[in-house]
Amino acid sequence: MLDQACRQVQRWHASAERSSPLSVAINISGRQLGHPRLVEDLAAVLADTSIDPSLVELEITESVLMDDVEMSADTLGRLHALGVHLAVDDFGTGYSSLSYLRRFPVDILKVDQSFVDGLGEDSSDSAIVTAIITLAHTLGLRAVAEGVESALQLGELRRLGCDRAQGFQWPARPAATTSASCSPPTVPGSRRQRSGS
């Protein structure tokens, strides 16, 4: 999937006439994270496609990271050295300790959709989202909200200072491709594609 996603970004850039480049977010499974050649394989794909590593975001769920903390920290460090962005996906739904979060060289905390659902209507969801955004910013990370489906949710996220959002709130949807499933733009004015593993 890494190879397919990076090659799709390469094709988008070859055919696109836009001022801002498209990037891709790729979900990484526990099996992939533990693969001994993950870093080397990604480095080879990046070199072969000549895409800017900063246009690639690898998303790893909180629970996968906690399966083997030492291995996760080592692998994430080597991936980060390639220049790709690393995101903790579904943050707040797992069982990670905040002390472990400091050890992982991640760039982004992704607020799970289950917390975004009640924004503006449920005070508990709003409090949790506020706490995650504050934690991310305090650690020097970006906060991204998943599953934004209403103007009310988007307005609340803007008020709370969330850095980015992704979901079906945006009417423009990129054309589907054969190698990656596409999602709406994450920020008005820019587009980010998401590919599953």
Measure the CA–CA gap between 86 and 93, rounded to whole angstroms. 18
**CA 173 from centroid of its chain's CA atoms:** 18
Phi, psi of 7 (to 5 degrees): -70, -30
Q: What is the pLDDT along the chain (197 residues), one digit of tens a residue?
A: 788 888 888 888 777 665 677 788 899 999 999 999 999 999 999 999 999 999 999 999 988 988 888 999 999 999 999 999 999 998 878 766 677 778 899 999 999 999 999 998 899 999 999 999 999 999 999 999 999 999 999 999 999 999 999 887 665 544 444 333 333 334 333 334 444 44
Quote the DSSP letter at residue 20: S
pLDDT digits (tens, 9 = 90+) for 28-65: 999 999 999 999 999 999 999 999 999 999 999 988 98
Percent of residues in the chain assigned helix, strand, coil, to nearest 5? 45, 20, 40
Give the separation between CA 21 and CA 11, rounded to whole angstroms. 12
| Per-residue model confidence (pLDDT) at position 170 | 61
| pTM for this prediction | 0.81
Beta-bridge mates of residue 23: 192
